[in-house]
Structure 1
Amino acid sequence: MRFNPLAPPAVVVGALITACFMVTLCGVALYQSRDDAFARASETSRNVAVIAERDILRNFELYSLSLQAVIDGVRDPEIMALPARVRREVLFDRAASASYLGSMLVLDSTGRIALDSLSDTPPSLSFGDRRYFTIQRDNPNVGLYVSDPYTSRLRSGSPSIALSRRISARDGSFEGIAMVAIQLAYFHDLFSGLQLGGQGSIALIRDDGMMVMRQPFDPEIIGRNIGKASTFRKFLSAREGTFSDTSTIDGVRRLYYFKHLNGLPLIIMVAQGESDIYAAWTRRALIIGSLMATFAVAFVVLAAVLAAQLRRRMRAESELALLARIDGLTGLNNRRTLGEILDAEWRRARRTRNVFSLLFVDVDRFKAYNDAYGHQAGDDALAAVARCIGDNIRRPADSAARYGGEEFLVVLPDTAPQGALAIAENIRAAISNLGIEHAASEHGRVTASIGAAAWTPETDDDVTEVIRAADRALYDAKATGRNKVSVCDVHLALASAAGVQE
Structure 2
Amino acid sequence: MLLLTTAVILVIIIVIQAGMLAKLREDRRAEAYRSAENVLRTLALTIDRNLRLIEVSILGVREALALPEVQAMPASSQNLLLFDRAAAPQYLGSMLVLDADGNIVIDSGQMAPRKANFGDRDYFAAHRERDAGTFLSRPYASRLRQNDPSIGMTVRLSRPDGAFDGVVLAAIRLAFFKSLFEKVDLGPDSIVSLVNTSGTIIYRHPSTDDGGNVGENVASSPVFQQMRDAPGASFSGTSKIDGLTRYYVTEKIGDFPLILSIGISTSAIYAEWTLQAIMVGLLTLVVCGLLAVIVLVLRRALIHSYEMEEQLEHMAVTDALTQIPNRRALEMVLDTEMRRTAREKSELSVLVIDLDFFKQINDTYGHAVGDAMLRNVGRQVTRSIRRPGDFAARLGGEEFVVILPSTGAAGATFMAERIRKAIAATHVATEDGHRVNTTASIGVASGIVQPSDPPDRLLREADGALYKAKGGGRNRVVGSHPDGGIAAAQ
Aligned to 2:129: 138
CA distance in 2, matches of 1:81, 1:290: 84
C-alpha distance 291-99 of structure 1, shift in aligned 2 (>3 A): closer
**CA displacement, residues 434-454 of structure 1 (integer Å, 9 cap, x when unaligned):** xxxxxxxxxxxxxxxxxxxxx
Distance in 2, Cα, partners of 1:273 & 1:239: 20
**After the TM superposition, which parts of structure 1 deviate over 6 Å for at least 4 consecutive aligned residues?**
none
Alpha-carbon displacement from aligned partner over 1:173-195 (angstroms, at most 9, x marks no partner): 21111110011111111111111
1:123 aligned to which of 114, 129, 132? 114
Q: TM-score, normalised by structure 2?
A: 0.56
How large is the Cα RMSD of the aligned pairs?
2.5
* Of 235, 253, 268, the match for 1:261: 253
Q: By how many angstroms is 1:16 displaced?
A: 4.2
Q: Residue 110 of structure 1 aligns to a residue in which SS? A: coil
Partner of 1:179: 169
Report 1:344-383 matches (<5 A). Answer: none
Per the TM alignment, residue 292 of structure 1 is displaced from its structure 2 partner at its CA by 4.6
CA contact (8 A) 1:214 1:222 kept: yes
Task: Give 1:191's aligned residue.
Answer: 181
What secondary structure is seen at the aligned counterpart in 2 of 1:244? strand
Q: Aligned letter for 1:253?
A: T
Structure 2 residue corresponding to 1:82, chosen from 73, 79, 104: 73
Segment drifting more, 253-262 vs 149-158: 253-262
Once the two structures are TM-superposed, the CA of residue 238 in structure 1 deviates from its matched residue by 1.2
Percent of aligned pairs with the same amino acid: 36
Which of the numbers 46, 50, 67 marks the counterpart of 1:55?
Answer: 46
Residue by residue over 1:203-229, the C-alpha shift from the partner in whole angstroms, topping out at 9 and shown as x without a partner, is 111111100001113327211001111
- Of residues 133, 148, 158, the one that matches 2:148 is 158
Paired residues for 1:417-496 under 5 Å: none
2:215 corresponding residue in structure 1: 223
User: In 1, distance between residues paired with 2:220 and 2:74?
Assistant: 51
Partner of 2:235: 243
CA distance in 1, matches of 2:234, 2:218: 18
Residue identity in the other structure for 1:118: G
SS in 2 for 1:236: helix
- The answer to whether the Cα contact below 8 Å between 2:235 and 2:247 also exists between their aligned partners in 1 is yes
- Give 3-state SS (helix, strand or coil) of 2:233's partner: strand
Displacement after TM superposition at 1:239 (Å): 2.4
- Partners of 2:53 and 2:89 within 8 A in 1: no
Structure 1 residue 286 and structure 2 residue 278: aligned? yes
For residue 121 of structure 1, report the CA deviation from its aligned partner.
Answer: 1.6
- Describe the superposition over 1:33-56 as per-residue Cα deviations: whole angstroms up to 9, x where unpaired: 111111111111111111211111
Alpha-carbon distance in structure 1 between the residues aligned to 2:29 and 2:103: 53
Structure 1 counterpart SS, 2:20: helix
Question: How far 1:96 sits from its partner (Å)?
Answer: 3.6
Secondary structure in structure 1 of the residue aligned to 2:167: strand
CA distance in 1, matches of 2:77, 2:173: 27
Shift of 1:280: 1.0
Q: Is the 1:62–1:95 Cα contact (8 Å) retained in structure 2?
A: no
| Paired AA for residue 259 in structure 2 | I
Say whether 1:69 aligns with 2:55.
Answer: no
> Could you tell me how far apart the structure 1 residues matched to 2:52 and 2:230 are?
23
Shift of 1:12: 5.3
Separation in 2, partners of 1:27, 1:138: 63
From the superposition, tell whether residues 97 and 152 of structure 1 become closer, same or farther in structure 2 (CA, over 3 Å): farther
Q: How many residues in Structure 1 have an aligned counterpart in Structure 2?
A: 291
Q: Distance in 1 between matches of 2:212 and 2:50?
A: 26
Of 240, 263, 269, the match for 1:277: 269
Paired AA for residue 37 in structure 2: R
Match of 1:100 in 2: 91
1:25 has 2:16 as partner: yes
> Is the CA contact 2:157–2:165 (under 8 Å) kept in the aligned structure 1?
yes
Residues 256-335 of structure 1 mapped to structure 2, 5 A cutoff? 256-292=248-284
Distance 2:177 2:89 in 1: 14
Confirm or deny: 8 A CA contact 1:96 1:117 kept in the other structure.
no
> How far is the alpha carbon of 1:254 from its aligned partner?
1.4
- Indicate whether 1:205 and 2:195 are aligned: yes
Listed as ranges, the gaps of 5+ residues in structure 1 are 1-7, 296-460, 463-502
- Secondary structure at the aligned position of 2:133 is classed as coil
CA distance in 2, matches of 1:197, 1:188: 18
- 1:31 CA displacement: 1.3
8 Å CA contact retained: 1:211, 1:224: yes
Q: Aligned partners of 1:175 and 1:58: how far apart in 2?
A: 29
Provide the C-alpha distance between the structure 1 equivalents of 2:7 and 2:17, rounded to a whole number of angstroms: 15
